[in-house]
Amino acid sequence: MNGNTVGKAEILTGNINRIIMKIATPVAINNLFYSLYGLMDIIFVSQIGNIELATIVFVQPIESLFVAIGNGLAIASTSMIGKEIGRGGDGKTIIHQLLILALLIGSTAALFVFFFTEEFLRIFSIDQSLLELATLYFKILSVNILLLFFNHSYYGVKRARGETVAVTVINTFSISVKLVSLYATIVIFDLGFSGVLFSTFIGNVIIALFALYDLFFKNRIITVAGLFSIKFREMAELLRIAFPIIIEKSSMSFGQVIVNKYALSYGVNVLTAFGVTNRINSVIFRFLTGFGTGTSILVSQNLGAKQTDRVKNIVVSGVKISGILSTVLIGILILFREPVAAIFSNGNADVLNHTIDAISIYSISAIPWAVMQIIIGYFQGTGQTQYNLLISVARLYVFRIPIIVVLSQFGNIGAYSIWFGMLLSNIAVAVASFYFQKRKQAQLFRTI
């Protein structure tokens, strides 16, 4: 057995701390890579101007509302295709229905965005100073939407077939091309904001072309004829499984849109600083998410072996490890917050100061976030994923938005209402989810 592979015996009997690190570290590093791309994206955009950066910050959660639909369909397809393969089938019928749905829904969404862009943006109370660039962004997005739906569907198919390494390789290549395109279009050809959109489009086209080749020619996973055969039962089942996932992901995106509106109420520079801090934090946040994933793997197998005491110890160890890592990482970030913030401020002193303030306060929430990821990993491992939906919704709509609304009524604190609102809401949901997990764990273990 490969020295980097964790076997079943080791998962069930090995040293818990070492096993968590061994399983979680590769996932955490992979997450780190993708979040670093997002950070590089913001660095390039910040060199164009603060209005351009604020526009990206404001519109991306709105864009995520559409991405949530594609994600939901992909996750549902992974489950259905995987079960079909497990029963000895090939899942081709489901794949065909998935692509038909992606084509129909993606085309409808693309047409809607193209013809009603300005009206759609005004629903979210976009600031007039951002409207022109945001309209351009969404016009081009209308072309990207169909590609996004198709690409997410392709990811779902590959994951269901167990080909996760292939997805990582394709994504890595696509991201590399995007970065090269960003540099070329912004630094060399000076295309400005249009260069950002062009680079995203190029990256999506590359994935789509490879997906078409893989699905229809290389592996002949599906046929063109199959795309003209609608199976309503399979299509309905896909939608049934996808619907709650779409609701969860879109509600998270919509909640972020609301928070962005409050940040924008304090000025474009505050919104810019908020978006920059989110991207900086995401490097640490996504790294820590890997330890939640590692926890879920350990919990599921040990629970299957009815080792309830070991499951308890896994959760405790996971909280300790992620808590220590998050504290160290945030300590380093806060120590170097001024030079880090300066990278994104492009000489704007107001953006610089707001970003420094945000890192000093909001970024501390990585510590409660780390705890929450272990709890989420536990519920994934037990199969009680409905509680993760509850935690995610509560984080935004029970804690974050109400706290920000209340703090915003204190006129003297200004943008600090956003920074403290983010921190306090993450602390509150971490504490609540920790005690909630303990109660649900006790209930579950009584049935084993």
In this prediction, residue 431 carries a pLDDT of: 96
Identify whether residues 277 and 353 lie together within a single domain. yes
CA separation for the pair 428, 403 (Å, rounded): 10
Q: What pLDDT is attached to residue 366?
A: 96
Q: Do 347 and 440 belong together in one domain?
A: yes
- pLDDT top residue among 83 and 417: 417
- Are residues 249 and 327 in contact, defined by beta-carbon separation less than 8 angstroms? no
Q: Please, which residues have CB within 8 angstroms of residue 172's CB and are 6 or more apart in sequence? A: 33
- In the block, tokens 């299957």 appear at 304
Nearest one of 75, 56, 440, 28 to 260, comparing CA atoms: 56
Going by C-alpha positions, the residue among 422, 428, 287 that lies closest to residue 360 is: 422
The last residue of one of the domains, among 209, 224, 250, is: 250
259 within some domain: no
Look up the domain containing 385 and give its range. Answer: 1-46+266-448
Helix (H, G, I), strand (E, B) or coil at 448: coil
The predicted model scores a pTM of 0.79
pLDDT attached to residue 277: 95
pLDDT digits (tens, 9 = 90+) for 41-96: 788 888 888 888 888 888 888 888 888 899 888 877 777 777 677 677 778 888 88
- Is there a domain that residue 256 lies in? no
300: which residues sit within 8 A by CB, 6+ positions away?
380, 381, 382, 383
- Confidence band, pLDDT 50/70/90 cuts, at residue 193: confident
Residues 99-118 have a mean pLDDT of 92
Distance, in Å, from the CA atom of 313 to the CA atom of 242, rounded to the nearest integer, reads 34
On whether both 74 and 215 belong to a single domain, the answer is: yes
C-alpha span between 103 and 327 (Å, rounded): 45
Residues 183 and 55 placed together within one structural domain of the fold? yes
Same domain, 394 and 448: yes
Can you tell me the distance from the alpha carbon of 371 to that of 377, in angstroms, rounded to the nearest whole number? 10
Q: How confident is the model at residue 2 (pLDDT cuts 50, 70, 90)?
A: very low
258: in domain: no
Tell me which residue of 344, 357, 349, 371 sits closest to 426, measured CA to CA.
371
- Give me the number of domains the chain comprises: 2
Count of CB atoms within 10 A of residue 423's CB? 20
The answer to whether residues 408 and 446 belong to one domain is yes
Give a yes or no: residue 338 inside a domain. yes
pLDDT at 3 over 50: no
299 and 202, same domain (yes or no): no
How many Å apart are CA 179 and CA 425, to the nearest integer?
34
pLDDT band at 1 (very low <50, low <70, confident <90, very high): very low
pLDDT in tens, 297-356: 788 888 888 899 999 999 999 999 999 999 999 999 999 999 999 998 888 999 999 999
The 10 Å Cβ neighbour count of residue 157 is 26
Tokens at 413, concatenated: 């604190």
In a domain, 374, yes or no: yes
Mean pLDDT of the chain: 87
The verdict on residue 411 lying in a domain is yes
- Identify whether residues 89 and 173 lie together within a single domain: yes
Which residue's structure tokens are 């079909």?
A: 84
**Residue 255 located in a structural domain:** no
